[in-house]
Each structure stands twice: as structure tokens, then as C-alpha cells.
């Protein structure tokens, strides 16, 4: 933490000395593709999402994540994709499917419902082409306590296979995100990486993989690196957030420097989405986020 404070102070001083956030531009690229999200650097970069992408690239980030990309105007989606390609950045996930209010995904496998979920994936394919995305987040709705878990798992696999019929030809990868029950999402069907691993093996498709959100997994089952090791062949995407608090690394209990080193040794070239808030407000808080990633990337 002392080193982190030193790094943050240095960044603030550099910005003050040169009069603007752009004075910190063209810094060395990070070893992993950490992906900031819209709004994370709004005080330093401004409200425009394109300006935020350019600022992130200037700080050395080579990933980007936008859960709500599918809700942006088509013209803006295209501009995001073009900007990322020009800057050599990889687009991370956007959310294409997940209704936390019902249990249909683990309950229904009728033709009407399968056509519905396939339609969602057709929309996702169109968005992915515009923003240059390879991955899209899928959350398999809530648990149905009136049906045995085995049947729910089978129904989940059936619907995912139907969705893969759309995704595979387009090269789009659905990443299933297990979400914790204890702090954020009680009652959702998919909770842990081991559970997601079994489902992916059942679907058996290159278009159905795991999104390992380390914040959620720390809360629900922990054992982060061993679980990544066991499920590595099905993990396509990683998200970051410290616990407690869901803020940047170094603010909680997770040793992200060791985790990032382990991921880097695996040769991972996907995006590590920065799906967390900033621990401090304003420009100082945004500079602290950058400093935290510099510290944890210094393995």
C-alpha cells in the first residue's frame, strides 16, 4: 500500500506539472490486457466514450469492456469498434443475455423459447461485428427450486446448444458468468466456476466458455488460482474486482499481483475486464486506479 500511495502521488504530480491528464500519455503497455469500462476515467478523459478509450490507450491499457455496448446507437458502436482497432486494443464483453427476474432458462426448452434465445444471439452477433467483440456475456437466469438441479442443468445445456447454432458460424463466444449469492445476486442459477465448467463440457462448443469474475468467485467459493487451473481449458474471459468493496486491486483481500503473474505465465491474451468501481472519487481516484494496476502488473 505504501508503494501504491507513492505511485499515485507521482501520477498526480505529473498531471499537475504538465497541466492536463494527456501529459501522462504514451506510457508503457501493461503485460496483460486489462480492460477499463466507460465512466472509469470520465474525470480525466471527459464524458465521451471515444475520448475515454483513447485516454485508456495512452495509459498503456490494451483492452476495453462495455457491458452496455448493445444499447449504444449503431453509429456509436461502429465508432467504438473502429477506434479500438486503430489503437490496437481488444474489445471485451458486452452483455447479450440474462434476466434475473425469471427461471425460464433452466425451466423451458420448448421450440418457442429456443427461438427466443437464438434471436438474442442473432442480435449479439450484429453488435459484436460493429464493436469488434469476440465475447459476449450470458447469465442463465434464476434457479427454479421446484425442479431438481440435475434437470435444470440439462435444460440450461439444451438452450445453450441452441444459442451456439447462431454463435459458432459467426465466431462469437458466449461466456457464462457465475455470480455470487451472498453479496449481490441470491437465487441465480449459475454460481461457481466448477458448475460452469460442467455445463461447458456438456455443451461442448467453442462458442460456450466461462467468464471467471474473480470478485464473485472469491465471495462464493474462493480458491481462485486452483479453480482457474482446473477449469482453464474452458475459461475464455476474466473479470477483476477486489473484495470486500468491489473496487480496484490493492483495496481488498485478493492478492492480484500473484494472480496476474499466474495468468500471464499461462500466456493469456484475452481481456481482463476491470468490472469494479473506483475506491476514491474524482481525478485522484482515477489516477489511483491506474497506479494500482501498475503496482499489480509489476510482477
Does residue 7 have a pLDDT over 80? no
CA angle in degrees (0–180, nearest 5) for 259-217-123: 100
pLDDT score for 149: 98
Please name the residues in contact with 54: beta carbons below 8 A apart, sequence gap of 6 or more: 45, 83, 87
Do 193 and 227 meet the contact criterion of CB atoms below 8 Å apart?
yes
Do 67 and 137 meet the contact criterion of CB atoms below 8 Å apart?
yes
Does residue 16 have a pLDDT over 90? no
The DSSP symbol for 42 reads: H
Does residue 23 have a pLDDT over 80? no
- Tell me the average pLDDT across 4-17: 47
- Tell me the average pLDDT across 191-199: 98
First to last CA, the chain: 15
Smallest CA-to-CA distance from 62 within 32, 42, 24, 40 is with 32
Q: pTM, whole model, 2 decimals?
A: 0.92
- What is the distance between the alpha carbons of residues 39 and 278, in angstroms, rounded to a whole number? 10
What does the pLDDT look like over 247-262, one tens digit per residue? Answer: 999 999 999 999 999 9
Phi and psi, residue 272, nearest 5° = -105, 95
What does the pLDDT look like over 28-67, one tens digit per residue? Answer: 999 999 999 999 999 999 999 999 999 999 999 999 999 9
pLDDT score for 21: 43
The Cβ of residue 171 has, within 10 Å, a number of other Cβ atoms equal to 12
- Tell me the average pLDDT across 208-228: 98
pLDDT score for 112: 98
Average pLDDT, the chain: 93
Look up the CATH architecture of domain 2-17+33-296.
Alpha-Beta Barrel (3.20)
Q: Name the pLDDT band for 26 (thresholds 50, 70, 90).
A: low
pLDDT score for 14: 43
Cα–Cα separations (whole angstroms), residue 174 to 53, 195, 237, 265, 293: 24, 16, 10, 25, 27
Q: Name the pLDDT band for 242 (thresholds 50, 70, 90).
A: very high
Q: Give the strand order in the sheet containing 135-138.
A: 33-35, 271-273, 235-239, 208-213, 173-176, 135-138, 95-97
Helix 224-231 and helix 193-203, axial crossing angle in degrees, nearest 10: 10
Does residue 4 have a pLDDT over 90? no
Does residue 17 have a pLDDT over 90? no
- Tell me the average pLDDT across 139-149: 98
Q: Name the pLDDT band for 10 (thresholds 50, 70, 90).
A: low
Amino acid at each position: 500500500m505504501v508503494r501504491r500511495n507513492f505511485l499515485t502521488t507521482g501520477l498526480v504530480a505529473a498531471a499537475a506539472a504538465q497541466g492536463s491528464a494527456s501529459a501522462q500519455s504514451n506510457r508503457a503497455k501493461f503485460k496483460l490486457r486489462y480492460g477499463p469500462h466507460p465512466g472509469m476515467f470520465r474525470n480525466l478523459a471527459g464524458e465521451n466514450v471515444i475520448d475515454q478509450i483513447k485516454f485508456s490507450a495512452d495509459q498503456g491499457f490494451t483492452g476495453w469492456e462495455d457491458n452496455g455496448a448493445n444499447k449504444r446507437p449503431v453509429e456509436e458502436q461502429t465508432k467504438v469498434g473502429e477506434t479500438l482497432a486503430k489503437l490496437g486494443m481488444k474489445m471485451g464483453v458486452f452483455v447479450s443475455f440474462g434476466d434475473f427476474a425469471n427461471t425460464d432458462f433452466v425451466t423451458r426448452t420448448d421450440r418457442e423459447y429456443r427461438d427466443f434465445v437464438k434471436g438474442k444471439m442473432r442480435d449479439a452477433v450484429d453488435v459484436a461485428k460493429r464493436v469488434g467483440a469476440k465475447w459476449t456475456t450470458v447469465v442463465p437466469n434464476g434457479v427454479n427450486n421446484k425442479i431438481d438441479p440435475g434437470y435444470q442443468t440439462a435444460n440450461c445445456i439444451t438452450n445453450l446448444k441452441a444459442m451456439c447454432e447462431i454463435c459458432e458460424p459467426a465466431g462469437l463466444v458466449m461466456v457464462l458468468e457465475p455470480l455470487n449469492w451472498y453479496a449481490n445476486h441470491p437465487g441465480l442459477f449459475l454460481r461457481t466456476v466448477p458448475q460452469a465448467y460442467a455445463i461447458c463440457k456438456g455443451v461442448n462448443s467453442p462458442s460456450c466458455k466461462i467468464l471467471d469474475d474473480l470478485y464473485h468467485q472469491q465471495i462464493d467459493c474462493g480458491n481462485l488460482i486452483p479453480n482457474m487451473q482446473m477449469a482453464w481449458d474452458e475459461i475464455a474471459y476474466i473479470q477483476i474486482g477486489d473484495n470486500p468493496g468491489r473496487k480496484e486491486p490493492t483495496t481488498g483481500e485478493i492478492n492480484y499481483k500473484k494472480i496476474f503473474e499466474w495468468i500471464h505465465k499461462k500466456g493469456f491474451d484475452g481481456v481482463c475486464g476491470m468490472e469494479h468501481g473506483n475506491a476514491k472519487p474524482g481525478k485522484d481516484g482515477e489516477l489511483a486506479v491506474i497506479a494500482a494496476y501498475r503496482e499489480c502488473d509489476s510482477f
